[in-house]
Each structure stands twice: as structure tokens, then as C-alpha cells.
Structure 1
Amino acid sequence: MVVVQIVYAGMNILYKLVSENGVNLRILIAYRMLFATAFMVPLALIFERETRPKLTWLVMFQAFLCGLLGGTLAQNLYFKSFSLSSATFAVAMSNLNPAITFVLATSVGLEKPAVGTLGGMLKIAGAVVGIGGAMLFTLYRGVKIDLWSTPVDLLHYDHHQQHVAPSHPGSSRHVMGTLFCLASSLSYAMWLIIQAKMNERYPCLYSGTALICTISFLQSIVFALCTERDWSQWKLSWDLRLLAAAYSGIVCSGVVVAVIAWCIQARGPMFVSIFNPLSLLIVALVGSLVLEEELHLGSILGAVLIVCGLYMVLWGKSREMKMINQPEPSKSSQESQSQSSEIATASAINNNNYGNYRSIKNISSNSLTTLSLAIDGDSS
């Protein structure tokens, strides 16, 4: 999982570089989904040829919404924030995903937190702490924290010796970047809830992933064509643009899904989740060293609160799952009502990196456990 977080950190840094170099990120996302589709479709044909259930119109509609909310919309909003803020800020905000998903699921009645239990109180407190950390990160700057200087300046090189002033907390660009990040997190949370429903009808990892990637690719192509008519922007050559598209599509949306699947099967979803803040640490260090990103006291305090909120939600969810797995007299109506909320919140906890996700369903004689897998990234 350390390698997975390094891979995601590399993706975020690559996208920051190409965004500052004038590359149209909408076109880049379309190419990314093309590479992801080309990678996932053969896997679906090879490994799930005999096990795929029938594809219904309802599943197709759910896949369309998943591709839109979890792919096209979420990624365009997320990476748009890169050009308005910093890579460190965007990655830090992505750790709010579990808290936002919990709040959304609660507001629509899918999640009913047990306020009288420690698990329920931890989830509520974690959501409050995480959102408070995001506000602190956005509104408070504080003193500048100097780590160490290096002669490497990738953004300076990309702009041909033209210095790019970073976006500071409190500036209009930074506030807009915050709004884009929050909108992306909301889109991501809505997608997780819809995905949980889709997984019940179509529990196929590779086939479902390939279907969502294909739909998201078509949506991204249409959106990019509507916003960019300069055909020179669509040309791929042996440069950073091709590297970012291939790396994020094949590695982050393809290879990483197998690694995460193996880790979840071997150690469980909570083991996977605890490594998510590592990507934030890597991006913050690399960004301050080679991207001329400034670290301030407010940024560090806000990031710490966001990560603390994440772990509080994880801890609360872990305690709730232990209580659910304990044998007790069952009430079929309560189990039916709470199943969707447990799936949706568990999916948000398992993965915070923006992009597309899928689920593995392990069926035993006593339980049905839905585990969400990241096939993206950055988120993220």
C-alpha cells in the first residue's frame, strides 16, 4: 500500500505539472479514460467471460450515473482545482471524502448514526473535525514554514523561466479551488451511493469497471469536444501529456486496482484506508521541494485536522462493523434498510483518491461484505 500511495502522489504531481504547462485537462482526462478502458476491457473478457450476469437497462443507467459522477464530473472538478490552488491542497481536501459521504448518506436517510454509541459519536465528531480542518486550510495562512531549498524548479522550467506565483489561502483563486474540491467530493459521495446499488445487481469487478470506464470515456470526449475546438490540443506526442495520460489511465486506473484488491482480500479494507494520508505527506514534501509550493502554518494545521477527522471516521466505522458482525437476533426489515447505508459509507472509507471505483463482493454463509476498490486515483 505504500507503493500505491506513491503511485497516486506521482499522478497528482504529474497533473499539476501539465496543468501549469498549459495542457487542457479536460482532453487529458478523456485520454486517461481511453487508456483505462483499453486496459480494463481485455481483463473483463478474460477473467469474467463465464461469470458475468445479464446486463439490464437499469444496470446501464446506474453505470451511466457512476461514470458521470465518479469519473467525468468528479475528475474534471478535482483537477480544475489544481490550476487554482496547489497539489497539496487538493490531496488534503480529498481526505474529506468519507466525512462528506457520511453527511450526505445521513441527510438522505441512508445512514442513521447511532448517537448513543461510541462508533456513531466518532463518525459525527470526525466529520466535524475534518470539515473544520478544511475551513482552516482554506481561510487561515499563518507563518511560512521553510523546509529546505533545492535547485530543482519544475514549474519554473516548464514556464520557460517565467515564475508562477502560487495561490495563497484567502485569495480568490484559492477560494475557487476550494469550491471545486468540495464539489468534486460531493459528486464522488453521490457516486458511491449509486455504485452501492449497482454492485447489488452487477457484482463483477472487471466487467463493471470496464463498463464505467467506457461510459466515462464517451462522456469525457463529448465534454472536451464541446469546450475545446483547437485540434492541436488533441495531438499526443512523446511528452509529459502522453506520460500523464498513460500513467494515470494504465497504472492508476488499471494496475493499482489489482494491488488494492489483493491487499483488501489479505488484510481487510481498514488496512487499505489507513495509508491514504501518506499520499498527502508525499505530495506536500515533493511540492515544496520541486514545485515551489509554499507551506504555511494554517496549511499544516488544517491538514492535520483533516487526517484526524479521517481516522476518527475510520475508527467509528470499524467499531460499527464489529457490532454488526456480532451474532444477535436479526430483524429482517432493519437489515434490509441499513444494508445500503453500510455499503455506501464503507466504500467512502476504503478509498479517497478521486477517480473511478468498483466493489468486490465476498459471499459467505453468514454475511455479505462489499469492499470498494480504487481504480483511479487522486483521488482522488
Structure 2
Amino acid sequence: MVMKMEKIKKKLNGSNVLIGMLTVQVIATGLQLLSKVILSHGTFVFALTTYRHVVATLCIAPFALLWERESLKKVTWSIFFWLFMIALTGIIMAMGLFYYGLKDTTATYATNFLNLIPIVTFIFSTVLGMERLRLKTKIGKIKLLGAMLCLAGALTITLYKGKVFYISHNHKHQNISKANENVVRGTIFLMCSCMSYACWFLIQAKVSKVFPYKYSATFIVSMIATVQGAIVGVCIDRRKASWKLGFNLQLITIFYSGALATAATFCFISWTVTKKGPTYPSMFNPLALIFVTIAEAVLLGQEMSIGSLLGMFLIIVGLYSFLRAKTQELTQIGLPNPGDAEAPPPPENGIITRTKNMELPILALENARFLPTPVEVAPAPIEKQEDKDEEKQSI
């Protein structure tokens, strides 16, 4: 009976993680659809970005101030500079460009590019010497194949359309030439967004080594992003109408994106990483693409094409292949080498570092921040031989 109860508890724990990750993808789906609707109705991109991170800052602040209050005193000018760069590359550039691309295309089309971020990050890290291809190994070949499939899928979606069909009868006929012009411009925005996200992850890898405090870092980055977004937005558009908020879908989207898509999602993913490892959340990202495709076609009456479905399939297969190979590679690197005569000496500061996964998608932050700190066990005192001899003589 006890064994059965333990098995049930294990299954429930596993299902909790699964439900959490499905919830993250549902939240991401809602964010893409809401953002697409309000951007299509003229919402200013940087007003949305600024207000979103005001809400995110307020939501993350209690966690940073209660649990990591002392870490805020460790912020030096050097750390502040790198946090500033994280906000600039990952929010102002990457998120801003993504919103502009989403505005000119569709939610499904834009979400396809989000799944290319791990591949672009892998390419950048390889060029910079932070990652090795390992083409002589099976894992290296699978990673390369997965990257090629993702790129092939992106090219298929961009260049090939094929037969068009609709699931819902509520579709709207648009000017084809204008739509094509918007798609080309939106594709450029989305490609630049992917490259900005890749730079964002590379910078985060550096920052996590010097400031490994997830809540404090997110709190500071959100504040910096709020100021940056306001400054850039005012430089682009100073009209009061662009910054005005009303009790409408725009306000709902701002609170939804700040509280759920940023703060709640961050907590869900950090909890999942501690339970299942850093790559586990990445495996669920293609589900958002499927959810967005179905929801956009049914609710918004968006057209679907053979080319988009084929490209979507190639991206999902390529991404899963790449992430699976990357997981196996990290596992192999983490295992001790039985051929080594001596174990490597511990670091001087006593902190055991973890292998960094550079290919996590946008929502999965640095895995080193979420992994529990190993507990140091004090070595047993060594008895001297002279003490033992004295004890024997006394006996």
C-alpha cells in the first residue's frame, strides 16, 4: 500500500511539471494573439513594451526584495552595464523588433521565428568559439542536421506558399500586394529579432557568472527596460494618443503580458528547471506554435497554406532533434571521465559551476541560476598516529 502511494505521488509530481509547462505554452499563445490584435489596431510598440515591463517590475519586486535583498548591494557599475545590455538586446531590440514583425505578419508566422532562436544562438556561439560542432561525433551530426532542418523550414515558410485554405468562415480578404510588402518587411524585423535574442543569451551567459541572482537580475533588467523603452518610444512618437491607456483590450494585454507572460512564466520555468533540468522547458516551445496556428485560424480567421504547414513541420522536427542531441551532449559532459587518474581540483571559491546551456529558448533563462547550490560537507577530522599510540599505552 505504501509503495502504491509513493508511485501515485511520483506520477502526480510529474504531471504537475507537465501541467505547468502546458500552462506556459497556453499563456504564450494568448500573448501572441492579444498582441497581434492590439498591434493591428494601432497600438504603439514601445508603449506596449514600456507598460508591460512596468507591470513585470511590480510583480517581480516582492521576490527580489524579500528573498534576494542582500544581492542588490552587490551590483557594481560593471554588473549594471551588463544588465543594461541585457535589457537593450533582449527587450528593446529583440522584443521591439519582434512586435514590429508580428504587426506586419501573423502570429503563426512570427512564432515560427521564435523557434529559430536556439539555432541562431548555436551559430553565433560556434562562430565566437563558445561552442564546438563536434562533427566527428553522432551528437554533433544530429545537432547540425537539426539546425539545417530549422533553417529549411524557415526558408520554406518565407519563399513557398502553395495552396491556401481556411478553417473558419470569418476570414477577411486583404490587398495581396500590400500584404506581401508587409510580409517582406516583417520577415526582416523577425530575422533581426532572432539575432538580437541570440546576442541576449550570449550576454546572459557572462552575467550569470558574476551575478547569479535570478529575481534581482530580472527586477533590475525590467526597471532598466522600462526606462529604455520610454526613452526610445518618446524619440519615435511623442503623441499623447500613442501613450494613452484606456479600459480596453490594450490594457488587458499589458497586464496579461506583464503579470502572466513575464512574471508567472518566469516562476513556472524556474521551478521546472529545478525539477527536470534546463532543456526540459525547451521541448514544449513548439507546442505554442501549434496552439497559435490553430487558435489564429479558428478565432481570427487567418489563412493557412501548404508551405506554412510544411515549414512548421520541418522547424518542429529540427528543433526537437537539436535539443535532444544537446541534452545528450550536456549529459555526457557532466559525467566524470573514468579514464582520468585524478579528479579535477575544486574551485577556489568553493562553488561548483554547472554546464551552461546556450541554446535555451526565450523563456528559459540561464540554468545555473535555477539549479540548487550544492551543500558542502565538512571533512572528518584526521586522527594523528601519536594520539593513537598514547591511547594504546594508557590501556
TM-score range, shorter chain: 0.7 to 0.9
Q: Secondary structure at the match of 1:362?
A: coil
- The 1:283/1:73 distance shift into structure 2, 3 A limit, reads same
Cα distance in 2, alignment partners of residues 167 and 106 from structure 1: 39
Residue 131 of structure 2: aligned partner: 111
Q: What is the percent sequence identity of the aligned residues? A: 31
Deviation at residue 164 of structure 1 after TM alignment: 4.6
Which residues in structure 2 correspond to 1:122-137 (within 5 Å)? 122-137=142-157
Residue 238 of structure 1: aligned partner: 247
Residue 369 of structure 1: aligned partner: none
CA-to-partner distance for each residue in 1:332-351, whole Å, 9 max, x for gaps?
79x9xxx99952xx2432x3
Pairing 1:362–2:340 present: no
Q: Secondary structure at the match of 2:359?
A: helix
Residue 93 of structure 2: aligned partner: 73
- The 1:203/1:321 distance shift into structure 2, 3 A limit, reads same
Q: Which amino acid aligns with 2:326?
A: K
Contact 1:142-1:297 within 8 A present in 2 as well: yes
Pairing 1:205–2:205 present: no
Q: Which amino acid aligns with 1:31?
A: Y
Deviation at residue 205 of structure 1 after TM alignment: 1.0
Which residues in structure 2 correspond to 1:279-298 (within 5 Å)? 279-298=288-307
Q: Secondary structure at the match of 2:97?
A: helix
Deviation at residue 8 of structure 1 after TM alignment: 0.5
Cα distance in 1, alignment partners of residues 248 and 58 from structure 2: 20
Residue 195 of structure 1: aligned partner: 204
- The 1:138/1:310 distance shift into structure 2, 3 A limit, reads same
Q: Which amino acid aligns with 1:189?
A: A
CA-to-partner distance for each residue in 1:53-93, whole Å, 9 max, x for gaps?
61111111110110000111101100101121111000011
Deviation at residue 166 of structure 1 after TM alignment: 7.3
Deviation at residue 357 of structure 1 after TM alignment: 7.4
Q: Which amino acid aligns with 2:30?
A: G
CA-to-partner distance for each residue in 1:270-325, whole Å, 9 max, x for gaps?
32111111111111011111222111000000011111111111011011111111
Counterpart selection for 2:106 from 78, 81, 86: 86
- The 1:97/1:200 distance shift into structure 2, 3 A limit, reads same
Cα distance in 1, alignment partners of residues 220 and 307 from structure 2: 42
The total of aligned residue pairs comes to 347
CA-to-partner distance for each residue in 1:198-236, whole Å, 9 max, x for gaps?
011111111010011111111101010001111122111
- The 1:168/1:277 distance shift into structure 2, 3 A limit, reads farther
Residue 326 of structure 1: aligned partner: 335
Q: Secondary structure at the match of 1:198?
A: helix
Residue 370 of structure 1: aligned partner: none
Cα distance in 2, alignment partners of residues 50 and 167 from structure 1: 57
Contact 1:105-1:341 within 8 A present in 2 as well: no
- TM-score (normalizing by structure 2): 0.82
Contact 2:46-2:229 within 8 A present in 1 as well: yes
Contact 1:52-1:204 within 8 A present in 2 as well: no
Residue 138 of structure 1: aligned partner: 158
Cα distance in 1, alignment partners of residues 73 and 31 from structure 2: 34
Cα distance in 2, alignment partners of residues 245 and 26 from structure 1: 12
More off after superposition, 239-248 vs 33-42: 33-42
Cα distance in 1, alignment partners of residues 246 and 353 from structure 2: 45
- The 1:357/1:164 distance shift into structure 2, 3 A limit, reads farther
- TM-score (normalizing by structure 1): 0.85
Residue 348 of structure 1: aligned partner: 359
Cα distance in 2, alignment partners of residues 280 and 331 from structure 1: 44
Pairing 1:259–2:268 present: yes
Cα distance in 2, alignment partners of residues 308 and 340 from structure 1: 32
Q: Secondary structure at the match of 1:263?
A: helix
- The 1:206/1:269 distance shift into structure 2, 3 A limit, reads same
- The 1:332/1:357 distance shift into structure 2, 3 A limit, reads closer
Residue 307 of structure 1: aligned partner: 316
- The 1:291/1:24 distance shift into structure 2, 3 A limit, reads same
Q: Which amino acid aligns with 1:364?
A: P
Contact 2:169-2:301 within 8 A present in 1 as well: no
Residue 10 of structure 1: aligned partner: 30
Q: Which amino acid aligns with 1:215?
A: I
Q: Which amino acid aligns with 1:43?
A: F
CA-to-partner distance for each residue in 1:138-196, whole Å, 9 max, x for gaps?
0000011333x255x7xx7xxxxxx6557899x23212211111110100011101111
Structure 2 unmatched runs, 5+:
1-20, 377-395
Counterpart selection for 2:75 from 46, 52, 55: 55
Cα distance in 2, alignment partners of residues 93 and 116 from structure 1: 29
Cα distance in 1, alignment partners of residues 241 and 207 from structure 2: 38
Structure 1 unmatched runs, 5+:
157-162, 367-380
Q: Secondary structure at the match of 1:75?
A: helix
Q: Which amino acid aligns with 1:187?
A: S
Q: Which amino acid aligns with 1:363?
A: T
Contact 1:150-1:290 within 8 A present in 2 as well: no
Q: Secondary structure at the match of 2:35?
A: helix
Residue 159 of structure 1: aligned partner: none
